[in-house]
Structure 1
Amino acid sequence: MLLERLTYADDLPMNITVANITEDPLHYHLDIEITYVLRGSVRLKNGYRCYTLQEGDIFTNSGHEVHSITALTEDNVVAQIQISTHYYFQFFPNLSKACYRTYSRKLGDKKHNRLRELLLQILLKYTTRGFNYKSKCIYLMVDTIKHLNKYFNLFAFDQEVVVAFEKSNPVAVERISRICQYIYQYYADNITLEDLSAVEHLSTYYLSHIIKSFTGMSFREFLCFARVEWSEIMLLDSDAKISRIAREVGFSTTAYYKKYFKKWFSLTPEEHRARYLPLVKSDLRPAVMEPLPMNKAAALIRQVYANYNLRRGNGDIVSSINLEVEVDTAAALGRFEKTLTVIVTLDDYKALGLRMFALLESLAPHRVLLLQREEDSPEDLGAVLKLLRREGRTAKQQTETDCVRGVSAAYDSILYPIYLFRCCLKSENGQMSVFLRDTDSADKLLQGQSALVTANGICKPSYYFYLAAAHTQGSIICQSNQYCVVREEHADQTVFKLFVYNADKELLDLCRMDSTQEQVKSAVNDFKSALEVSMNIRLPPGQYAVTKYSLTREGNIFGYMANMGFPDDAAVFSGYCPEIYSGAPVLEVYPDDVRTILNIHFSIKSAGAQMAIIRPIQQNAFP
């Protein structure tokens, strides 16, 4: 069947394939398809012409264009992006009429470079699958279509090769674009130059002149070209007689149709049908291509993007660490099993009320210590202790002299959870103790204390480390300075928890000293190293739920205060629910169908941490 019907996921109105292509036989579809050659070369047949596409070339097939791809080099890698016209109609009502031409013999101009950049961003977002990647792809495609509409929505002829239009007059570009769309929309009707001049409110003489000047063809030649191009679908998708096809596409006589068909296709319609009908995509002649694993596709696209930036002299490139990790799920390097003790005070209960119990419920500590100070009422302490035990907590009182609070501005920042995690992995001590809440302060919200929440109850980044650590018990199966993988064996399933963190020794040393807020802010902002980690995990076939969490340098109370210059007024964030400012991790949940290998990618552009939980939904879903 010549028509390839495209379907899309409900939450992503595009299909993206990165593959080594041997052959994608003749077909057409109703939506736009963009072909980007990432490596090697291929031959693309589109309509009457064959194009040799080299690395970096981009070709856009509009709807209803018969095309095919065959390999010229064995090691080619081609990205194909199919775009849902139905979805993007809401942004671009004329998208179905678009006639994009991105092929050009001139490489390196600004408009092509910008198109490459947009497409590489989409491909990188899709293959690395970071947080909210689908929404990012959708809106990057809006920018891409805007760019296509502005610069590529018309074409010209260069020695009988259809190429991207090179004129720069915006008024002329818009006008000739409308003319092309009109001809392609009404090609089968008996349209005349007079009809078109009435639509454009121009004289026939002037209209004829600009069509010839901009496309290299007269109006009549252009109309016949459009008719011939559309006729190829009927030739290869039906057994209709040639005379009927000629009438259907608007030719007055069969001889006239054959004359123009041979001019462009170099074959008669009968010869063309005989030669190319066996080459149409079908069950007997399917596409032969090998999609790249997502991690290998991402690595190649990152390399192409880096080379592209280097050629353009982009000075904003940051250093990047790229790691590909094969996870041995049967390994056992040690245990990750910590018992958490949370220290609370009577003032914590007075300030937080019932929220204190909600925080403890989330943390699920092994025990709770109620700190006893000289000024505390024994009756009040007894009442709070009773409430804690009623909530099911193992709780006891302890005098204040036994507990010491450290001070460092880094404790309030993204650096502290990374530091704590690294310390946990190095330490054989299975005990963790932490204050729940900073001490009260009349004039300062961030005090550099190591507690989990500020005095007014806003969760700091370290809270989420303790939350994850307290709920993780299992075998460490993979570990380095940038990541750790833990396997948890439950009664009914095996769960994997992956932790990835990005910070160097100089940053983490700030947690060991009495650092100031400005020191921490400056050091974190100056840290320009990106971390890309791609993990391959061999799993039994089935469907798995992947839950990813991300902590960033900006999305927490330290980042908010840093943006405001660290005001002294502690009431800046008072009067609102503290959860609003607690900088909860960015969350993404998606299913992944696994046959043998689950690939998951982590991308951290500055100081930050990410975690993923992989648990089976349905195993043995595939033969």
Structure 2
Amino acid sequence: MTTVLEIENLKETLNRGDIKFPLESYVWSGYNFDNNIKMHWHSDVELVRFIKGDFSYTIKMQEYKIKDRAIAFIPANVLHSFILPSYSSESAVVFNPKMLPFSEYDESERALSKALIKGYTSLYNPITPDDPDFEYLDEAIDYIVTNSKDNSICSRLRIKSKLIEIFAILQSKGYFSEEEAIADTSSMQREDRVKHLLKYISENYPKNITVNETAEKLGFTTEYFCRFFKKNFGESFIEYLNDYRMDRAAQALLLTNLPVARIGENCGYQNSGYFFRVFKKKFGCTPNQFRTLKSSKN
């Protein structure tokens, strides 16, 4: 099981697990600051187990609020984001759906493969404890997270069987459709614009980018861009950009040995004193303290 501060990027291209078993698990538990996992998407399927805390997540531009326990299913290639509050607990399983079918699979596996890989999804709402299948699903995901690093054939077969059972239950609840849903053109255009915007931010956040420059690059007027951003992200462009830079800095502190000042520069902060102040305001400690405390915990 991997316990990490997982700060997602937008279009993820991470290799989950290994080529023989492309599955990874993540755990968020006990940190004394919020983790705002920005809007992103990936070609993998994700199962999220909310354990303790008041959570908020968005999928296909629809927000869901969770109090304590719940399970969320995130299909492949769908925009989503999470807000994980301080001192909360959450775990997730992320995997390549192509791992599920056997080499000679039957009609039921073919239907499941089509639903997961091509994204034939009908429902996105979370599953809560009042659902009769909740406890089984909760225990199954917990088993997968706990045993995801066991490389034995026996363990991997059990994990695979758990995943198939989970999706059989989701199928019975109407989460998947046999054919691709009729596209909502306006919704698709909105998602495409958001994806394009996220891509631009991820490629340019180390630079001194401005609202006017970003709006112009994306073909928007500044006024329309500000309204569009606020409506879709719930905050201003500058607020989002600063938070995004902080997340990138936190990730670099945990995953690299670069000097703190260099990390600040790489994240768009040329003034190290200002970088320290902004970082401490968000995380409640200096970058050096963050690196020491979180690295020792992990």
Does residue 1:27 correspond to 2:40, yes or no? yes
- Distance change in 2, residues 1:238/1:145 (3 Å): same
Q: How does 1:308-327 map to 2 (within 5 A)?
A: none
Whether the 8 Å contact between 1:66 and 1:232 is mirrored in structure 2 is no
CA distance in 1, matches of 2:137, 2:167: 10
Does residue 1:47 correspond to 2:47, yes or no? no
Counterpart amino acid of residue 236 in structure 1: V
Structure 1 residue 116, shift from structure 2 partner: 1.9
Q: Which position in structure 2 is the counterpart of 1:126?
A: 148
Structure 1 residue 41, shift from structure 2 partner: 2.3
Q: Which position in structure 2 is the counterpart of 1:233?
A: 191
Whether the 8 Å contact between 1:22 and 1:288 is mirrored in structure 2 is no
- Distance change in 2, residues 1:45/1:597 (3 Å): closer
Q: Which position in structure 2 is the counterpart of 1:12?
A: 21
Structure 1 residue 139, shift from structure 2 partner: 2.6
Does residue 1:93 correspond to 2:106, yes or no? no
Structure 1 residue 40, shift from structure 2 partner: 1.6
Runs of 5+ consecutive residues of structure 2 not aligned to the other structure: 1-8, 103-108, 198-223, 252-294
Q: How does 1:490-501 map to 2 (within 5 A)?
A: none
Whether the 8 Å contact between 1:35 and 1:79 is mirrored in structure 2 is yes
Structure 1 residue 84, shift from structure 2 partner: 0.6
SS at match of 1:103: coil
Whether the 8 Å contact between 2:73 and 2:126 is mirrored in structure 1 is no
Counterpart amino acid of residue 11 in structure 2: L
Counterpart amino acid of residue 113 in structure 2: P
Structure 1 residue 76, shift from structure 2 partner: 0.6
- Distance change in 2, residues 1:88/1:286 (3 Å): farther
- Distance change in 2, residues 1:120/1:10 (3 Å): same
CA distance in 1, matches of 2:133, 2:12: 30
Q: Deviations over 1:312-339 (max 9, x none)?
A: xxxxxxxxxxxxxxxxxxxxxxxxxxxx
Using the size of structure 2 for normalisation, the TM-score is 0.55
CA distance in 1, matches of 2:88, 2:27: 10
Using the size of structure 1 for normalisation, the TM-score is 0.28
Runs of 5+ consecutive residues of structure 1 not aligned to the other structure: 155-176, 188-223, 240-267, 290-594, 599-623
RMSD: 3.5
Structure 1 residue 100, shift from structure 2 partner: 6.0
Q: Deviations over 1:419-468 (max 9, x none)?
A: xxxxxxxxxxxxxxxxxxxxxxxxxxxxxxxxxxxxxxxxxxxxxxxxxx
CA distance in 2, matches of 1:153, 1:69: 21
Whether the 8 Å contact between 1:102 and 1:152 is mirrored in structure 2 is no
Q: State which of 43, 46, 51 in structure 2 corresponds to 1:38.
A: 51
Counterpart amino acid of residue 196 in structure 2: S
Q: Which position in structure 2 is the counterpart of 1:182?
A: 180
Structure 1 residue 285, shift from structure 2 partner: 4.1
CA distance in 2, matches of 1:134, 1:105: 25
What is the percent sequence identity of the aligned residues? 11
Higher relative contact order (CA 8 A, sep 6+): 2
Which stretch of structure 1 is more off in the superposition, 269-278 or 46-55? Answer: 269-278
Q: Which position in structure 1 is the counterpart of 2:261?
A: none
Q: Which position in structure 2 is the counterpart of 1:539?
A: none
SS at match of 1:146: helix
Q: Which position in structure 2 is the counterpart of 1:457?
A: none
Q: Which position in structure 1 is the counterpart of 2:248?
A: 286
Between Structure 1 and Structure 2, the one with more strand by share is: 1
Aligned length: 199
SS at match of 2:181: helix
Counterpart amino acid of residue 29 in structure 1: H
Q: Which has the larger radius of gyration?
A: 1
Counterpart amino acid of residue 82 in structure 2: I
Structure 1 residue 26, shift from structure 2 partner: 1.1
Q: Which position in structure 2 is the counterpart of 1:272?
A: 228
CA distance in 2, matches of 1:102, 1:108: 17
- Distance change in 2, residues 1:15/1:104 (3 Å): closer
Q: Which position in structure 1 is the counterpart of 2:75?
A: 62
Q: Deviations over 1:542-584 (max 9, x none)?
A: xxxxxxxxxxxxxxxxxxxxxxxxxxxxxxxxxxxxxxxxxxx
Q: Which position in structure 2 is the counterpart of 1:143?
A: 165
Whether the 8 Å contact between 2:44 and 2:95 is mirrored in structure 1 is yes
Q: State which of 87, 103, 111 in structure 2 corresponds to 1:75.
A: 87
Q: How does 1:135-534 map to 2 (within 5 A)?
A: 135-154=157-176, 177-178=177-178, 181-184=179-182, 187=183, 224=184, 227-238=185-196, 271-273=227-229, 276=233, 278=237, 279=240, 285-286=247-248
